[in-house]
Amino acid sequence: MNRFGLTIAVPRGALLGGSLDALDRASIDTSEIRSNDRKLLFADVGVVTMRPSDVPTYVEAGAADVGITGKDVLMEYPERQIFELADLNFGECQIVVASEDGPDKAEAALLRLGVMRIATKYPRIAAEYFEQSGRQAEIVTVNGSVELAPLTGLADAIVDLTATGITLQENGLVVREVIATVTARLVANRVAHRLKAVAIEEFASLISAEPNAQATKA
Tell whether the model's pLDDT for residue 217 goes beyond 60.
no
Same fold, 8-91+183-217 and 93-181: yes
For the residues 127-136, what does the mean pLDDT come to?
97
Distance, in Å, from the CA atom of 116 to the CA atom of 147, rounded to the nearest integer, reads 16
Residue 92 host element (H or E): none
The amino acid that residue 113 corresponds to is L
pLDDT of residue 212: 40
Average pLDDT over the chain reads 94
For the residues 192-211, what does the mean pLDDT come to?
89
Q: Which of 33-37, 98-102, 159-163, 206-210 has the lowest mean pLDDT?
A: 206-210
Instruction: Report how far apart, in Å, the C-alpha atoms of 180 and of each of 86, 115, 212 are.
Output: 17, 22, 24
Can you give the pTM of this predicted structure?
Answer: 0.90
State percent of the chain over pLDDT 70: 95
pLDDT of residue 214: 37
pLDDT of residue 144: 87
Mark out the alpha helices in 78-147 (DSSP H runs): 105-113, 123-132
Q: Give CATH superfamily name and number for 93-181.
A: Periplasmic binding protein-like II (3.40.190.10)
Could you tell me the residue ranges of all domains in the chain? 8-91+183-217, 93-181
Give the CATH class of 8-91+183-217: alpha beta
Alpha-carbon torsion, ordered 52, 120, 165, 33, to 10 deg: 10
